[in-house]
Amino acid sequence: MIQEMAKDVVNAKERCMDAYEKAVTLQEKLNDAITLIDPSEQLETLPEGGLFHGVPIALKDNVNTKGILTTAGSRILSNYVPVYDAEIVTKLKKEGAVIIAKASMDELAMGGTNLTCFTGPSLNPWDTNRMTGGSSGGSAAMVASGVVPMAIGSDTGDSIRKPASFCGIVGVKPTYGRISRYGIIPYASSLDHVGYFTRSIEDACISLQALAGRDDRDMTSSFKEVPDYLGLLNSDMNGKKIAIFGNVQDALTNPETKEMFAKLMHALEERGAKVDVFYFSEELMKAMLPTYYLIANCEATSNHSNLDGIRFGVREKGDSMEEIMINSRTKGFGPLIRKRFVIGSYGLFEENQDKLFRKAQKVRRLIVNELNKCLGEYDCLIAPASNDIAPLLNDTSRDQLSDGYLIVENHMVIGNFSGYPSMTVPMGFEEGCPIGVNLTCKAFDEVTMFNIGKAIEEITGYKDLTAEVK
Amino acid sequence: MEYVATIGIEIHCELKTNTKMFSGAPCSFGRKANTCTNEIDLGEPGTMPCVNMEAVAKAIEACTALHLTIDPLVKFDRKNYYYSDLPKGFQITQQFHPIGRDGYIMIHTSEGEKKIRINRIHMEEDTAKQFHLTSKTLLDYNRAGTPLIEIVSEPDMKNGEEAQAYVEALRQTLLYLGVSDVKMEEGSMRCDVNISIAPVGSNTLGTKNEIKNINSISNVGKAIEYEIKRQKEILEEGGVIHQETRRFDDKTGETILMRRKEGNVDYKFFPEPNIFPIRLDENWIKDIQANMKELPEERKERYAKEYGLSDHDINILIGNKEMSEFFEEVMKSTKDAKNVCNWLLSDVSGWLNKHGETITTTKLEPQNLAKLIAMIDDGKISTKQAKEIVDDLMEGKDPEVVVKEKGLEQVSDTGLIESLVQKVLDENPQAIEDFKAGKDRAVGFLVGQVMKASKGQANPGMVNEILRNAIKERI
């Protein structure tokens, strides 16, 4: 779709204005944007050509845009106008992309519901009584509702891949270092990835083509050459070795999801793939979520120490600098964020680091070692992205210590622990709402990931799915 | 009771690099506030650090000069704390893997030479500068992110003199390397002193106090001597020394309590996730080490060998790097090292002090000083005459021209001196009698008369020689 749009130069202006108007209309129903941007000005200075020439896109609101409000979904940044563009913004603009929205997100990208944004929850385009998932929920909703063909997200635990599942679209988290993080308001630096949503695998290929590459301002970005993803796209499954994530499959409680997944695996086999079940140590599986929370919260508490109201952001009154900082931080963050900062800080105390933060990092290595074992033998690790479709907005019934929650709802964090490429593709529908399947491949092997994704897309026929928002 | 002090010193030194430690903003001193910053220095959301390899190279030079073992795997850590001068809410430093460990420097004091061990050198970034006014605080972020090295000594010093010598030796070494401006008054070199005292022979150390904000090398000595006295008095009165952070007030010469330490602050150090460990190429390190500038100790050896100067003269010359470099410039046009050194350390230095200038700010040309010394050595002018034209010399004038203009040229014409001598001898028969009677000072009198007759322009050496011969002929 992106390719066709970029070629259709004549209609660029109309297309972008239409997208903007659609976004304005849907905003009332979905609340999926924090800032809507009238594209008129950008359209006047559009460069010639480019992979995204005249293609309307949305950015998660933790992507810095020079001169345009960037809040990261947090009250403390609700007046923050960046002085510089994120690297990917520069790249996308060079390719001719037109930014029409800064999308809603969970506060500071922490959370999986998109209920914690300071502008309120964003709603699922397939069923507005349901969540989009988070933290990149606004971006997912804008792609799923057909406003834009591509939206940027960020993924620290599964913040792209979970909402992609709930919104019936493709959600890609490429390899750590593949896309520059410079100018993305962070959550947890060692787990943070920039990624995106599209409605087809082709669009996913083109998007990565435009976004990937070394950036000297992000020392963790890779020097590896960026392959021609679209040119290399090939859905032939002959000889492909696929490992079903056994622990996740066993923990599924939803029979519909189970059956849907089994059918998909069978279809991949019929296309010539060799499909086996691979089991991780159950202990490590159960340790995944606590390990994730510790590392993420520890890094987050440090990363967000700059949000003190002194140089930027909302400054509260106080009699001293210290008081200003304390008041600004107390009022500027939601309760969930404050809780996470306390946990992170506790984990970093010198007397706790050995038994908490450093231990979590050791467990992280053990988990990655297991994944390496699996991907040493297989091209891809595959599992449903969730047990169920998107939860209802008022659903607080989850038992956070059940196997279902610990494993089924959080297994995708393995892609963040390892940094390996991982993506969610639509798998099917239950009660008129979508649910996705997740694949994780070897480091920098996005090509294989797209190829398997393409085969799945062909099997399900879910390409360019758009929700009719009621 | 006799007490012994145990002193360790931490020195922060700004590295002289073009850009900051983790950002591309320029490093500067004295520029308009907040003009040398970018989004990284201000800790704007989304920014990421990028290691300045020029700073790493300078740190390697410092480590090498101070004999530390270099860790070729460079890693950085976060030191987390909230303070208004710390934009990110953490400082990027090297807590767990400093770039260098276990070195030393030699110091010279009245008790001779001593080795002071250096525990570690690590790289980090500077904070913003604060100006506290009565109703508000101003922040200048130009300094934020400037590369620093922190040099941590072992507690090997016993008194103010040693501490002062240590800081001076470090200052000299870093200055000669060219890695830092090392100006304590401008804050490009900052010194924190840790000091405790204990009774002589005691196996346990006393309670440590830290003295901050010492703004000159001589104040390092003063602060320590004051602190030793203060602690001694407390102990002798049966008091208890608390662990404190104090600052030195150079107006009163006293140390003043800033805060008491209640246990150590937890900085929650952890590895910086945005900088992967950097494996330094062995050849890159070797290349840096091979191209290092001459160190003070090396220069001392060279001066003794090449120029045969005394240790005393060498130490004074080397103590002033610019003077030492000027000395070498002069030596390109002369071989008389002893006289060049004397002139620089006496007449030239005297003139500079009097006029509030330095050797780099004057118009004095190295060749002109060499020329002047050659003119003395060749007997063209007397030392006394030379001293008369110091002002002209310092203003950049050619001594040959000045001497001509002022008609100061020394008379070395044998015939002319001969005739003056005969005239003086004719006029002073009594002096000849005195000489005969063995009164050698008569010669001095006669020389004086000849000089007077020549209006001071006769070559005194020649006058002396000719006069003696002439007297002998008359006896």
A91 is catalytic: no
**Band of pLDDT at residue A113, cut at 50, 70 and 90:** very high
Q: How far is CA A429 from the centre of its chain?
A: 21
Question: Which of A77, A216, A349 is facing B45, going by the closest CB pair?
Answer: A77
Place of tokens 């960037």: A70
Taking the Cβ of residue B195 and every Cβ of chain A, the question of whether any pair is shorter than 8 Å is answered with no
A323 touches chain B (CB under 8 A): no
B151: nearest Cα among B113, B195, B99, B108: B99
State pLDDT tens for residues A408-462.
Answer: 889 999 999 999 999 999 999 999 999 999 999 999 999 999 999 999 999 999 9
Dihedral over Cα of A100, A106, A107, A112: its sign: negative
Domains held by chain A: number: 1
Give per-residue pLDDT as tens, A1-11: 999 999 999 99
Q: Give the C-alpha separation, B410 to B376, whole Å.
A: 10
Q: How far is A46 from chain B (nearest CA, A)?
A: 26
Q: Does B274 touch chain A (CB under 8 A)?
A: yes
End-to-end CA distance of chain B: 76
Q: Is residue A265 part of a domain?
A: no
Within a domain: residue A106?
yes
Q: Dihedral sign, CA of A252, A258, A262, A265? A: negative
Task: Tell me whether A79 touches chain B (CB under 8 Å).
Answer: no
CA angle, A404 then A295 then A118, to 5°: 80
What pLDDT, on a 0 to 100 scale, did the predictor assign at position B419? 85
Whether A345 and B268 lie within 8 Å, measured CB to CB: yes
Q: Active site includes A40? A: no
Per DSSP (E only), the strands in A201-300 are 241-245, 274-278
A104 catalytic per annotation:
no
Q: Residue A16: give its domain's CATH number.
A: 3.90.1300.10
Cross-chain Cβ contact A348/B274 below 8 Å? no
**CB atoms near residue A370 (< 10 Å):** 18
Inter-chain residue contact A305 with B137, CB threshold 8 Å: no
pLDDT at A254: 95
Evaluate if residue A311 carries a pLDDT over 80. Answer: yes
Contact between B270 and A348 using a beta-carbon 8 Å cutoff = yes
Q: Is the pLDDT of residue A470 over 90?
A: no
Chain B: nearest CA to A452, how far in angstroms?
32
Question: What pLDDT, on a 0 to 100 scale, did the predictor assign at position B265?
Answer: 84
Which of A64, A80, A311, A315 to mutate against chain B (most B CBs within 10 Å)? A311
| Integer Cα distance of B188 and B184 in angstroms | 6
Q: Does B50 touch chain A (CB under 8 A)?
A: yes
Q: What are the chain B neighbours of A327 within 8 Å (beta carbons)? A: none
Q: Where are the alpha helices (DSSP H) in B209-348?
A: 217-236, 282-290, 296-307, 311-319, 321-330, 337-343
Percentage of chain A modeled with pLDDT above 90: 94
Mean pLDDT, range A367-373, rounded to an integer: 97
- Asked whether the beta carbons of residue B88 and residue A305 sit closer than 8 angstroms, the reply is yes
Q: How far does the CA of residue A191 sit from the closest CA of chain B (Å)? A: 9
Please name the member of A217, A322, A350 whose beta carbon is closest to the beta carbon of B266: A350
In-domain check, residue A398:
no
A218 contacts chain B (CB < 8 A):
yes
> Which one is predicted more confidently, A470 or A97?
A97
In angstroms, the CA A139 to CA A195 distance is: 11
For B44-85, what is each residue's pLDDT tens digit? 999 999 999 999 999 999 999 999 999 999 999 999 999 889
Catalytic residue among A60, A173, A240, A454: A60
Q: What's the CA gap between A127 and A107, in Å, rounded?
A: 23
CB distance from A34 to chain B under 8 Å?
no
Q: Is B82 on the interface with A (CB under 8 A)?
A: yes
Set of chain A residues whose Cβ sits within 8 Å of the Cβ of B89: 302, 304-308
Of 3.90.226.10, 1.10.10.410, 3.40.50.740, 1.10.760.10, the CATH number of B414-474 is 1.10.10.410
Domain map (residue ranges) of chain B: 3-284, 294-406, 414-474
Most confident residue range from A151-155, A336-340, B377-381, B457-461: A151-155
Do A402 and A461 contact (CB within 8 A), yes or no?
A: no
H-type helices in B178-276, by residue range?
217-236
pLDDT in tens, A69-80: 999 999 999 999
Let me know if residue A339 belongs to a domain.
Answer: no
Residue segments in chain B with a per-residue pLDDT below the cut of 70? 262-263
The label of the residue with tokens 């293609």 reads: A55
Cα-based torsion angle of the residue sequence A104, A109, A114, A116 in order, rounded to the nearest 10 degrees = -100
Catalytic position from the list A74, A136, A139, A159: A159
Q: Tell me the chain B residues in contact with residue A185 when contact means C-beta distances shorter than 8 Å.
A: 45-46
Tell me, yes or no, if A296 comes closer than 8 A to chain B by beta carbon.
no
Interface of A with B in 4-33 (CB under 8 A): none
What is the pLDDT confidence band of residue A403, given thresholds at 50, 70 and 90? Answer: low
Range of the domain at A231: 2-238+420-460
Give yes or no for residue A66 having a pLDDT over 80. yes
Does the beta-carbon distance from A302 to B268 stay under 8 Å? yes
Hey, are the CB atoms on A216 and B276 less than 8 Å from each other?
Answer: no
Cβ atoms of A29 and A128 closer than 8 Å = yes
pLDDT digits (tens, 9 = 90+) for A192-217: 999 999 999 999 999 999 999 999 99
Partner-chain residue, chosen from A220, A321, A357, that has the shortest CB–CB distance to B84? A321
* Res B379: pLDDT: 76
Determine the pLDDT at residue B77.
Answer: 98
